[in-house]
Chain A
């Protein structure tokens, strides 16, 4: 059942169209991630949902209510800000109690709900600390408690892990995912980090220049990118110009393609390619241009005469050195069915 619906949202900042007819639907109790590079409009879309941005066109619905015209303070939408926006002049308990005070909730009930919210994020011992004296991870948990104590219908999180150092990030991501599952709240994350999107979400919406490019589960997005842009943004991909004839990509060996005849683009993940030394037999021919041993794997760049070299990741055996630069090799797809054939190439070519 759709819980949050953003419907054809348009927003211009001056002459710049930041959102160009964005539509997203999020099912009740699921986690959606808006993923895209900086400037793609993902934060603006989230701010539209919270009411900080007034859309020029389009509607915003939560449950069966149209909230497009509600001011931010009348929406039941929890929001965790990038770098958290904790009130510096209030201690942790007062930060969490803020929304309850504004709503004139009684003193006893406020105390009880603040206590529960702080328990939920395991911060009860820090109730009388000021935000300046908390670590980044603790601040994040206060921000979450401050939003959750109001029992909002949905929870929005704007790059919540940006302010944390890399080590802390992964464990906090897992903690947060568990917390959201426990409470069962419909949530939307914004991030530019694809790994974060994979860890956190049920579904991912990849954004590009104010539009939604593709929506799906993390695995769908990775395995079946609908455009070369999505393929290149999620993980790494080789995008090759190929020809399709009689339902097959013209290559050796041929790859099945449910496409009309003519030019097309083949997307192959580096780990779905393998190489063998020697210039004879099936596959793309080329020479090793560069190699990087990465421990368990070796990454090769293979020059094939195309503008971009092919990237190939192979498993490395103990004691095995990479092939020297200049070695003639043949590159083949490990699983031809895992390759994707698209009509449009990179940058809409």
Chain B
């Protein structure tokens, strides 16, 4: 392809390549720096780190408040993913296979949370709860987060369902299976990987979310993102880098799950 390129095409290629390289560096460098400085043996940040030590990881694991918040976040994220999955998969089924009046309006409403900034969903939940004299709590957080995450599940499930051949359901009915049995034997097994990906994605979104959590989470038993938010504001010790490095590790694990189930490219759609 490099044969007979005009000078302007040469310049165009160089500019394009340089911009792409710069922006790829921009994407990964901050994470790499954070991981690197988490191994800092001294009490303040330097890059490259002055040595290698795991003392800040030990520090993090010894911090009761932090480990408690991780446990809170785990439960909140699991509950959120479960609710989003239980509500989202049947909804996606109706959206794709349904033939009822007002289907497009129902679809728009089901996907509408993705139009809302997390902050607005958080404040709205806080106010709605307050109106009935409920205070912010991790239950409220789970409710708000599951609303926030529902569209992710619905979109992934819809994409998979739309790719399934509806004649397979007819074939199953013809061979004697009822609606529920067809769903369990034919539809679910084929959706399985997509559902794992949807659950993983919802889990990490809920686990990382700070904009909804700041408004709705419990004052005691704060989830990790809220804990981290206050830490970052007032402190910049390498301990935060250690927590961040752990979160980056978690996001890689989730990415691996998505890559193995639906493929990373699907996330773009």
Chain A complexes with chain B:
yes
Residues of A with Cβ closer than 8 Å to B? 50-52, 71-75, 77-79, 81-83, 85-89, 98-99, 101-103, 146-147, 150
- Determine chain B's interface SS by DSSP, over half rule: helix
* A75 to B170 alpha-carbon distance, docked (Å): 12
Of B165, B167, B185, B190, the residue contacting A98 (CB under 8 A) is B185
Interface residues of B in 163-187 (CB under 8 A from A): 165, 167-168, 170-178, 181, 185-186
Among B173, B178, B186, the one with the most A-chain Cβ atoms within 10 Å of its Cβ is: B173
Closest 7 CB pairs of A and B: A99-B175, A72-B173, A85-B167, A85-B171, A79-B174, A102-B177, A73-B173
B12: interface (CB < 8 Å): no
Given A87-B186, A98-B185, do A73 and B167 touch, yes or no (CB 8 Å)?
no
Q: Which of B170, B185, B190 contacts A85 (CB 8 A)?
A: B170
Q: Is the CB of A71 within 8 A of B189?
A: no
A28 to nearest B CB, angstroms? 21
Closest Cβ of chain A to B255, distance in Å, is 25
B9 CB to nearest chain A CB (Å): 43
CB distance from A47 to the nearest CB of B (A): 8
Contact B172 A77 (CB under 8 A): no
Interchain nearest-CB distance for B173 vs A (Å): 4
- Give the residues in chain A near B165, CB-CB below 8 Å: 85
Contact between chains at A81 and B171 (CB < 8 Å) = yes
**With the chains together, A82 CA to B171 CA distance in Å?**
11
Bound-complex Cα distance A50 to B171 (A): 10
Q: Take A89-B189, A150-B176 as given contacts and tell me if A72 and B168 are in contact as well, using a CB distance cutoff of 8 Å.
A: no
Quick one: closest B residue to A81, CB to CB? B167
Smallest CB gap from B191: residue in A: A89
Whether A52 touches B173, Cβ cut-off 8 Å, given contacts A85-B165, A89-B190, is yes
Which residues on the B side are within 8 Å of A73 (C-beta)?
A: 172-178
* Bound CA–CA A200/B6 (angstroms): 64
Given A87-B186, A89-B189, A89-B190: A102 and B176 within 8 A (CB)?
Answer: yes
How many Å lie between the Cα of A74 and that of B168 in the bound state? 17
9 contacts across the A-B interface (CB closer than 8 A): A71-B178, A74-B176, A75-B174, A81-B171, A86-B171, A88-B190, A99-B177, A102-B175, A150-B175
